Amino acid sequence: MANKVKTRKALKQLTDFFIKEGKILDENSYIALKSQPVLGATLNYIFGGYRGAIASLRASPQFGPLVKHLDIPEVKPTVKPVETKAPVWSMPANKPAATKPAKVKVEKKDG
């Protein structure tokens, strides 16, 4: 992961580019461009790929002007909670406690 300066610079360049283009491009369209504001290798290094760049762009405060300029409706994540069943454990039958062996004292012999 790159440092904050490189991340912010790349996000600023992407925001300006998408405002200039008038839309947010999909990954294939962005890669097909001859003049990319942030190169693919740099996107991979900083964000882990184009998807990571768009996710970081949406999470950044710079996404606000982009939404206003491009009239992009805000998308709320539709996350469905995953229902998992708790494992059912049967209680073992009461077993008598094991008796402890008696302690044996060992006497030391002199000599």
Where along the chain do its domains lie? Answer: 4-70
Q: Looking at per-residue confidence, does 108 or 55 come out higher?
A: 55
Residue range 30-85, pLDDT digits in tens: 888 888 888 888 888 888 888 888 888 888 877 777 766 665 555 565 677 777 77
Q: How is 16-85 classified by DSSP, letter by letter?
A: HHHHHHTSPPPHHHHHH-SS-SS-HHHHHHHHSSHHHHHHHHHHSTTHHHHHHHHTPPPPPP-PPPPP-P
Average pLDDT rounded to a whole number, residues 9-34:
86
Distance CA 18, CA 15 (A): 5
pLDDT at 72: 57
